[in-house]
Amino acid sequence: MAGYRCPIADGAGTDTRLNDTSSSERIRSVVASFGEWPSGVIRFGVVLCVGLALAVVIAGAYRDALEGSDFWADRHSGSDYATRSVPNETAIGSKQVAEDARLWMPEDATYRIVASPDLEGPLEWAAPDFLAGFLLPRRQTDSEDAEWVFCYLCDTAELGDQFETLSDGGNGVLFGRMRP
């Protein structure tokens, strides 16, 4: 089964005699060998596999890849700062508030997140991680001593009179600081 010799040369074959024959003769020789059992059938299977791969590439996969790249390149190029650089609102509640927070807090700041017990969904489980990723090197903390505060549907009265709202997303998402 394993004793046949590859009769095709792709320009890098090892059989000098075959390299001296013309391409068409070589191809004819290969095609003729497809009738041999089992080696020819296996070789035919290989040609079929490569042919199918090429067919898939030529029939659309390659064009789809280039068109897809063009589409996404245009889309990414056309997107604005907030789309590209600020996490989406599903996760953080308000891009406006998050960006305000970044612009308010110095890089060595610490902030905490105060959330309503009723908060659920992505704002409850994703916002802390997304804000951490966006706002680093500013540090998230649980400490009530933190100067900066995000409020997610929280009762601002509980934060006391010291809380000064600096940004309000209009949807219960606030950012502010505790005045000394």
| Site residues for another protein per CB under 8 A | 1-6, 8, 10-14, 16, 38-39, 42-43, 45-46, 49-50, 52-54, 56-57, 61-62, 64-66, 68-73, 75-77, 79-85, 87, 91, 96, 99-100, 103-104, 106, 126, 128-130, 132-134, 136-137, 140, 166
d(CA 166, CA 180): 15
The DSSP letter of residue 158 is G
Q: How far is the CB of 113 from another protein (least distance, A)?
A: 11
Would you state the structure tokens that stand for residue 144, as one six-digit string?
């009530």
Closer by beta carbon to another protein, 32 or else 49:
49
Cβ atoms within 10 Å, residue 116: 14
Handedness of CA 91, 93, 94, 99 (dihedral sign): negative
Q: How far is the CB of 56 from another protein (least distance, A)?
A: 5
d(CA 136, CA 10): 55
Q: How far is the CB of 45 from another protein (least distance, A)?
A: 5
